[in-house]
Amino acid sequence: MNFAALFKTFVFLALLFVMLYVGMNNTHEIKFFFPIAGTTAEAPIRASAALIYFGIFAIGVLGGTMLHSCKGGGKKSSVSSKDK
């Protein structure tokens, strides 16, 4: 079994546990300001802290996945020209 894949899975599960723990302990409503986006400078987002934390976590995971999976340049073939 691939040790790297197993390690990444455990790290991801640990991150999910931290997200769950934060969500269980931060159920109160907060005002979320993100002035760079423009719309929240005047009217902040009002939601539970856990929901906002989950949203930011999900955006980070999706962004990291996109950056990690998109490799520049053309894909190299695993079959060399000598094997043909």
Residue range 25-43, pLDDT digits in tens: 878 888 888 788 777 777 8
The first and second tokens of residue 3, run together, are 């040790």
Determine the pLDDT at residue 84. 52
- Segments making up each domain of the chain, as ranges: 12-59
The string of DSSP letters for 14-38 reads HHHHHHHHHHHH--SEEEE--GGGS
Is pLDDT above 60 for 75? no
Determine the pLDDT at residue 80. 53
Determine the pLDDT at residue 45. 83
Type and span of the H or E element at 45: strand 45-48
The first and second tokens of residue 50, run together, are 């856990």
Tell me the average pLDDT across 8-19: 85
Q: C-alpha distances in angstroms, 60 versus 31, 63, 72?
A: 20, 5, 20
Residue 32: Cβ-neighbour burial (10 angstroms; 0-12, 13-18, 19+): middle
Tell me the average pLDDT across 62-71: 80
Is pLDDT above 80 for 76? no
